[in-house]
Amino acid sequence: MAFRPVQMEKIRIICQREKTHVVLSILHDLRVVQVEEVGQDVKNILKDPNIMSGREEVIEKLNTFRSYENLLPRRKVSGRKKFESVEEIMQAASRIGIEHDVKIAYETMDQLKVNLKDVDNKIEFLKYLRNMDLDMEWLSNNTVSSYIIMDHYETSIKNAVTIHGKDFTIFTVPNGMDREVAAEFSSLGEKPMYIPAMHGRASERFDELMEFRKKLQNNIDDIMKSLGGLSDKYYSDISAIREALEIEVKKYEVAMKMPSSDSISVLEGWIPEYRYEKARKLIEEQTSNLCIIETLETDEKGPTLQHNLKGFRLFESFIRFYSLPDSGEIDPTVIFAIVFPIFFGIMVGDFGFGIIILLLSIWIVRRINSTGRKVKLPGKLTGFISSVFTPYQLQILARALIPGSIVAIISGIIFNSFFGMSILPSTIGPIHMTYYNPLVYTSKILLMSGYFGVFMVSFGLIIGMMNEYYFGEKRHILGKAGWLIFVWGVVIYGLSLIYSLNTDPYTNIYAGIDIGAIVIGVLFIVFAEKSRGLIELPSVISHVLSYTRIMGILLASVILTQLINQFFLSTTSSLPMEIIGVIVLVFGQLFALLLALVEGGIQGVRLIYVEFFSKFYKGNGKQFTPFGTSRKYTEEKYRA
């Protein structure tokens, strides 16, 4: 289990210029090096970029294959292809000579669609006129123009002739009055349809256009069928070649950033320390030892690559949301993954709510991952959710709530709370069961919350000391130690006051030790942090006390559910009151569940982000982004 990000090494690769493509291919396939700008000392010596041959041809072919993939009907791609070289990719591309066929097909189809749109426009108004015995030549010709509007309407345009249909109006005006027509209807917010000049009866023209439309659509369908045939034959190859060409273009882009001379090229970047040796051996082997690979001594901070066990990785998203850890500091992902579900589960504190949250979380995960037919949800609900979360974020949140819901179920059993009702038996056989109702054991649960606070703040300060030791900041180690001593001195002395113990340092040596710890802690803090530390003294106590919100949110949830249940039980006097009681019970419990879910989640995260992380976590790390591509249709050539 890794409590720090992966250790990074800064490396420099000096290779024979002709071997640049091999090196870049290895680095791309291994995806282990984040390429960086080469140092100025190298740039001053090697000023020319490495422009590998064939770049323009590859880019041109890539654009062609991107257009193929976009224009052809999509097909499911099965299997992956492996290309040994750029030449092999270009040869495979040259065997797919469909550019002329695709171009002619789309030019023809575009013209057919223009014609189809024109026909549809005419059909749109002819469907209203076909039942009227009208000669279309009367409506629009060299003398007059006609319009149709979907309403009964009397125009005020001078010299206009109006014909009323069942649910539309035709009005005819002398030619040259376009401005008057536009002015009248723009003020009314209406948009009449212009009736173009046509010959023959409306019904005859309608039938002719419908037949013509059918022919146009058949022609379009035939073209799509021919394109579908091309997809069936070539789509898998096109997708693989397009992906391979994109990878080659990325290699060209990196190569152009590599300073070079007539004989050598140089590349620098970051690599995980544990991957360095295998990558070095592979590069030397594939380039016949014509490359020099060396690690560089540097004061630069490397990028951050988190490396947690599989079960904890989903919680990395919560850490990145706050801030990515610096490359050298402790990664708190595992701590978050353990602590957050505990806080969330206790604040929910009801095994009925816990079961609902667990089932809902599992359903969300399965729904997002399912590729089959899904139950349709209300559009407003899905629209709201999708405006807040992406499917990936929603899945992460649902997975994170699963352990928290299990803790909620366990807490609910301990508190004997099922939707606010105590339903568990008081005895099981000869065993007498003890449940800790939050309303009865308020002081004990409140004290437990305080202990949570002391533990988390202390733990955070200890981690802070470990971080400062790692970075060699001895003065700051003393400061963190001062905060730790101060906290425990205040806590123990405060507990003595709460329990009315002897707090006189003259008669109780332990009270004197407590006060001494407070004083020593303050001295350490002032020595390490000066006046800023004095100003922040009250904040550390408030952070400890802040954990009592665990008790507050739990109590709020318990009281709310019990009030809802009591109202429901009191509405038994008549049928109308019983109906109201059921409505209040259902919607009230849903509201209480939503409140527990939202407040438990937000406050659980807040206690970690604010009260815990502030004791040790700096963040501001830069994500490790290795040179490479996630392949879907092609295979890597090199593997370590």
Chain segment 402-448, per-residue pLDDT in tens: 999 999 999 999 999 999 999 888 888 778 888 889 999 998 999 89
Question: What's the whole-model pTM score?
Answer: 0.79
Q: DSSP letter at 375?
A: P
Mean pLDDT of all residues belonging to the chain: 88
What is the tens place of the pLDDT at every residue in 260-298?
988 899 999 999 999 999 999 999 999 999 899 999 998
Classify 623 as helix, strand or coil. Answer: strand
For helices 351-369 and 575-606, the axis angle rounded to 10 degrees is: 70
What percent of the chain is modeled with pLDDT above 90?
Answer: 57
Q: Taking the C-alpha atoms of 602, 605, 607 and 613 in order, what is their torsion angle to the nearest 10 degrees? A: -150
Q: Does the pLDDT at position 162 exceed 80?
A: no
Question: Domain-by-domain residue ranges, the chain?
Answer: 115-212, 315-615
**What is residue 559's predicted lDDT score, i.e. its pLDDT?**
93
Q: Where would I find the beta strands (DSSP E) of 124-168?
A: 144-149, 161-164
Range 590-610 average pLDDT: 94
Range 157-186 average pLDDT: 75
Q: Does the pLDDT at position 487 exceed 70?
A: yes
Q: What is each CA distance from 265 to 31, 55, 254, 391, 434, in whole angstroms? A: 20, 17, 11, 43, 75
**What is residue 97's predicted lDDT score, i.e. its pLDDT?**
87
Q: What is each CA distance from 118 to 172, 203, 216, 621, in whole angstroms? A: 22, 18, 11, 59
Range 79-93 average pLDDT: 93
Classify 576 as helix, strand or coil. Answer: helix
Highest mean pLDDT of the ranges 377-391, 418-432, 602-616? 602-616
Which residues 6+ apart lie within 8 Å of 392 measured at CB?
Answer: none
Instruction: Give the model's confidence band at 189: pLDDT under 50 very low, under 70 low, under 90 confident, else very high.
Output: low
Let me know: does 583 contact 287? Beta carbons within 8 Å. Answer: no
C-alpha closest to that of 617 among 626, 606, 609, 627: 609
C-alpha closest to that of 636 among 628, 312, 151, 381: 628
C-alpha closest to that of 150 among 121, 188, 190: 190
What is the tens place of the pLDDT at every residue in 576-586?
888 998 999 99
